[in-house]
Amino acid sequence: MIINFQKTKELVFHRPNPRNIVYPNSVETIEQVKVAKLLGMFIQSNCCCEQHVRYILTVCSQRLYLLKMLRAKRLQAAQLHHICLAIVISRLVYALPAWGAFLSTELINRINGFLRRLYKYGFTSTLLTFEQLHRKADATLFKKIFNSDYCLYHLLPPVKSLPMQLRPGRH
């Protein structure tokens, strides 16, 4: 494989304490960055997702403006709900199992604030929360992974059968 040095970036992951950072020696022609975008997701060197959440909320706010324009054109509430799920909520849950566990309470509150705005404006029929979306995304991922036809199924360890003999209760 031939590496294109103009397109190659180096991202060094480190703990949050900045005084203990040791940068490895790298090839001088490779640019070292603190944030990289990979498959539509921003990855930061300190394993934080602040920039990714900021980007998602910016994109979703732009799409919220589109929903307001559609409502001004007298689109029905049920249709607005479907469009909101398709263009806003789908953007929020994209790769959520990968980045959702790295969020601080502040970032979760910002996402929940945006979801409350969607509900307040009538674009969603129920009030969604980040926790609900995260739980559902995790459950969907694990449901898919445990299907033997899934591409990552072979990476799972074999299922252990533990012989459990429970004593009958006295009740």
pLDDT (mean) for 22-51: 83
Angle, helices 105-120/130-145, rounded to nearest 10 degrees: 100
Instruction: Report whether 116 contacts 127 (CB < 8 A).
Output: yes
Question: What pLDDT was estimated at residue 157?
Answer: 87
In the predicted structure, residue 54 carries a pLDDT above the cut 90 = yes
Mark out the alpha helices in 90-129 (DSSP H runs).
90-92, 96-99, 105-120
* pLDDT value for 134: 97
Does 28 map to a domain?
A: no
Whether 51 and 83 have beta carbons less than 8 Å apart is answered as: no
Residue 51: closest CA among 39, 30, 32, 34: 34
Side-chain half-sphere exposure of 70, counting CA atoms within 13 A: 20
63 falls within a domain: yes
Q: 104 lies in a domain?
A: yes
Give a yes or no: residue 136 inside a domain: yes
Q: What percentage of the chain has pLDDT greater than the value 70?
A: 89
User: Could you tell me if residue 141 is inside a domain?
Assistant: yes
User: Within 13 A of 35's CA, how many CA atoms are on the CB side?
Assistant: 9
Structural domain boundaries, residue 121: 50-145
Summarize pLDDT for 80-98 with one digit per residue, the tens: 999 999 999 999 999 999 9
Residue 39 covered by a domain: no
Do 95 and 41 form a contact (C-beta atoms < 8 A)?
Answer: yes
Q: Is residue 8 part of a domain?
A: no
Q: How far apart are CA 139 and CA 9, in angstroms?
A: 33
- Distance CA(5)–CA(112), nearest Å, equals 40
- pLDDT tens digits, residue range 142-161? 888 888 888 878 888 888 87
Within a domain: residue 14?
no
Instruction: Give the count of domains, the chain.
Output: 1
